[in-house]
A and B are shown apart, each in its own frame.
Chain A
Amino acid sequence: MSRSFSSVVLENRPVHKSHNLIILSAPDEMPVPQPGQFYMLQAGRGTDPLLKRPLSLFRMVDGSIQFLYRIRGKGTSLLADMKEGASIGMLGPLGNFYPVQSSLKIPLIVAGGIGVASVFSLVENIAGRAVVFYGARTKDDLMMAEEMRTYAKELVISTDDGSAGSKGNAAAALENYLASNPMLHQDLCIYACGPHPLLRAISDLAFRYRIRTYVSMEEHMACGIGACLGCVVNTRDGYKRVCKEGPVFSATEIIW
């Protein structure tokens, strides 16, 4: 088993004006990744950018690992330029993963924006069970929504401008669902990935409705393996490393 390896780019294509899907070969000796884990990807060959890029695993399909990423800086631009056949230095799978609760729980999965990349394989793994709340800025910013629909029990779309689904963010959609479904809330479990303010809002809801909730956190990261202590988040037990104790944390653990 090795978590340090080189992959070959099998496909690297735009799925949106600022997002790409990259499909990489996965060597046999790589440990099988779990939903919520991430990889460090080498972008470019030189020293600028210097560090590998942490990306959540989107899917693992037929011996390939797939990443859905937003092109936002030098590193991800270089990544977007990588052609089929190019080799890319990788570390992974890294970090912990979404703990899947017993079948009694109804999984509510929340994705905000590119957070869809992290939760997609979870929805897929528990196909037919999850109610998914997927929020994006506009209709055009929704990615993989139709693919998601095939694995979700129910897909609730929301957009900031109301161009698709309900108007507002995914937390508002979740709250609406919780308020209008007078079921036993202790049978629920929430998994969320998205921008920090969204996760905080989800965490507030979780507290109010007393629902066990897991959030996938993000922080500036250098090594990805727990050595640099760069990617910490503040928790009730002090600083914890997103790359090692996370990226998935219990919402009650985080000091928002």
Chain B
Amino acid sequence: MSMDLSVSIAGLELRNPVMTASGTFGYGEEYAEFMDLDRLGAVVVKGLSVKPKEGNPPPRIVETASGMLNSIGLQNIGIERFIKEKMPFLRTYDTKVIVNFFGDSVDEYVEAAEKLSSVDGVHALEMNISCPNKQAGWAVFGTDPSVTFNVVSSVRKSTSLPLIVKLSPNVTDISVIARSAVDAGADALSAINTLTGMAIDINTQRPILANKVGGLSGPAIKPVAVKMVYELFRSVKVPVIGMGGIMSGDDAVEFMLSGASAVAVGTANFINPSATIEIIDGIASYLLGRNIGRVSDIIGAAHAA
């Protein structure tokens, strides 16, 4: 039986639905020793800003039950160095390269999008709107529908690349924000970013992370993510990239059944650097076992009456 694992997201044809989640895969180099990047549907690189960012003081991570909290603080080398030092490596591969980016003002988002749009080998942009806005008392962009609309539409005007908006789950109703992003011109949505959380050391009686608060990822958040993807499938027409605690092919299938057109693997990369490959193979064996010839046939299947 021939198996068609390809999916289409925002005009991008992916050889399979498995991508890497931003911030868990560096710029691909660290993983090349452990796996063939060309097997991936897409590589989503560590979030970039116009200027380099040094990130938060340590401790930056703490393990929690079936998950981990991180407060890396968006450390990155900046767009200029990324283009010079990392893109030549990524261009040697035949996979799709999606660049995650962020800013602390609308202007900075626009500048980042403009700079990235002309880079040879960048196939799409993923916009992180879960970061604080310096022009609005550091309130998070992606928690307010009109702020979301404003920043996404400004970026939309400054790039012709497919634009994916990565949503924050730390909101009352993710569908409201999603509709704002889509109305502003997003071609696809990524869901979900990490959930905010905290862990306290009972011996020192202080938060463990230097930043006190961090983002929770890993299997602990999977049911929350699956439910949000399920809601988004109903409330918006654009494709959704599902992520949050995917460890296996079965987890990826669950996200696709809930409505994801593709999936991103994050924390699992930390535990097993070839996790993405095992997940691609796991999806294929699920389909094979059920005699399903095309992976796209299972997208949103859980919504059937």
- A residues with CB within 8 A of B: 3-4, 42, 46-52, 89, 91, 219-223, 225-234, 238-239
Top 9 nearest A-B pairs (CB, nearest first) are: A230-B61, A223-B270, A47-B66, A227-B26, A222-B270, A47-B219, A227-B30, A48-B66, A226-B30
Cα–Cα distance between A228 and B71 once the two chains are bound (Å): 11
Q: How far is the CB of B2 from chain A (nearest CB, A)?
A: 31
Q: Tell whether B119 is near chain A: CB-to-CB under 8 Å.
A: no
- What's the least CB distance linking A122 to chain B, in Å? 25
Listed residue (B247, B271, B272) with the most chain A CB atoms within 10 angstroms of its CB: B271
Q: What is the 8 Å Cβ interface bit string for chain B, positions 76-103, against chain A (1 contact, 0 not)?
A: 0000000000000000000000000000
- Check B57 against A228 for contact (C-beta < 8 Å): no
User: Shortest Cβ distance from B191 into chain A, in angstroms?
Assistant: 21
The secondary-structure label for the interface of chain B is loop
Asked whether A50 lies within 8 Å of B271 as measured between CB atoms, the reply is yes
A-contacting residues, B44-86, CB 8 Å: 46, 54-55, 57-63, 65-68, 70, 72, 75
Contact status B272-A222, CB under 8 Å = no
Residues of B in contact, count (CB < 8 Å): 35
Q: Is the Cβ of B271 less than 8 Å from the Cβ of A238?
A: no
The residue that A229 contacts in the complex, of B33, B59, B60, B62, with Cβ under 8 A, is B60
CB-CB under 8 A from B34, the residues of chain A are 3-4, 225
B26–A220 touching, CB < 8 Å: no
Whether B273 lies near A4 (C-beta < 8 A) is yes
Count of A-B contacts with CB under 8 A? Answer: 92
Q: Which B residues, 1 to 57, have Cβ-Cβ distances below 8 Å to chain A?
A: 23-26, 30-31, 33-34, 46, 54-55, 57
Residue of A51, A229, A231 touching B271 (CB-CB under 8 A): A51
A-side binding surface: helix, strand, loop or mixed?
A: loop
Contact of A232 among B55, B65, B219 (CB under 8 A): B55
The docked-state distance in angstroms from the alpha carbon of A15 to that of B23 is: 40
Q: Which residue of A lies closest to B75 (CB)?
A: A229
Closest residue of chain B to A42, judged by CB? B271
Closest-CB distance, A219 to chain B (whole angstroms):
5
Contact between B59 and A227, CB atoms less than 8 A apart: no
Cβ of B30 and Cβ of A220 under 8 Å apart? Answer: no
Q: Tell me, in angstroms, the Cα distance from A245 to B154 when the chains sit together.
A: 39
- Nearest CB in chain A: distance from B247 CB, A: 7
Closest residue of chain A to B219 (Cβ to Cβ) is A47
Instruction: Collect the chain B residues with CB atoms within 8 Å of residue A4's CB.
Output: 34, 272-274
Are the C-beta atoms of A228 and B273 separated by less than 8 Å? no
Q: A226-B26, A227-B26 are in contact. Are A51 and B58 (CB under 8 A)?
A: no
